[in-house]
């Protein structure tokens, strides 16, 4: 008998995201840490945003095509709705942080709040997954 060690929703939102974005994040951090006094290169953030767009559009599209003519359905609409809202909020939040709150720089409160949004996303998605499982 197989015993689930990880919740699938939490694994998809954490391990999958970290695995697909770790190289870009590491390059961005290394580029910044090498010379803290210099103006950071635009390559790091541009690479991260480009990778996220690629993952969202190309990988999602190829995954749908790969399934073929089989009917496609969302397994848990609650989790899908939460991740959709947070995905939209992420782009709005990025605009607010970079263009409105502290133009052209990131303050520590913005970084911590961004991390808090990620924790809230995981908690809400996990809760929606458990509630959805409970009603099945």
Tokens 């197989």 correspond to 2
For the chain, give the percent of residues with pLDDT over 90.
21
Alpha-helical regions (H) of the chain: 8-11, 17-34, 43-54, 60-67, 77-95, 108-135
CA-wise closest residue to 124 among 70, 71, 68, 86: 86
Task: Report the pLDDT value the prediction gives residue 56, as an integer from 0 to 100.
Answer: 77
CA 127, distance to chain mean position in Å, is: 18
CA 112, 110, 91, 44: dihedral to nearest 10 degrees? -90
Distances (CA, A) of 16 to 3, 38, 41: 20, 32, 26
φ and ψ of 106, to 5 deg: -110, 125
Kindly tell me if the per-residue pLDDT of 49 is higher than 90: no
Question: How far apart, in Å, are the Cα atoms of 122 and each of 13, 17, 62, 108, 131?
Answer: 7, 12, 25, 21, 14
The tens digit of pLDDT for each residue in 79-105 reads 989 999 998 998 899 889 988 888 878
Taking only the tens place, the pLDDT of each residue in 3-30 is 777 888 888 888 877 777 777 778 777 8
For the chain, what is the mean pLDDT? 82
- Residue ranges of the domains in the chain? 1-71, 73-136
Mention every residue, 6+ apart, whose C-beta is less than 8 A from residue 117: 86, 89, 90, 93
- Percent of the chain whose pLDDT exceeds 70: 92
The predicted structure's pLDDT at residue 134: 53
The mean pLDDT value for 43-70 works out to 78
Burial class (CB in 10 A: 0-12, 13-18, 19+), 122: middle
């Amino acid at each position: 008998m197989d015993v689930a060690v990880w919740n699938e929703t939490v694994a998809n939102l954490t391990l999958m995201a970290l695995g697909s974005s770790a190289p870009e994040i590491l390059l961005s951090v290394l580029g910044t840490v090498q010379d803290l006094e210099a103006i950071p290169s635009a390559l790091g953030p541009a690479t991260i945003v480009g990778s996220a767009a690629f993952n969202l559009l190309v990988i999602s599209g190829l995954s749908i095509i790969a399934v073929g003519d089989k009917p496609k359905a969302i397994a848990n609409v609650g989790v899908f709705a939460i991740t959709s809202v947070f995905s939209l909020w992420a782009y709005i939040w990025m605009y607010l942080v970079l263009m409105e709150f502290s133009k052209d720089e990131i303050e520590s409160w913005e970084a911590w709040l961004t991390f808090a949004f990620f924790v809230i996303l995981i908690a809400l998605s996990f809760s929606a997954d458990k509630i959805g499982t409970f009603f099945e």
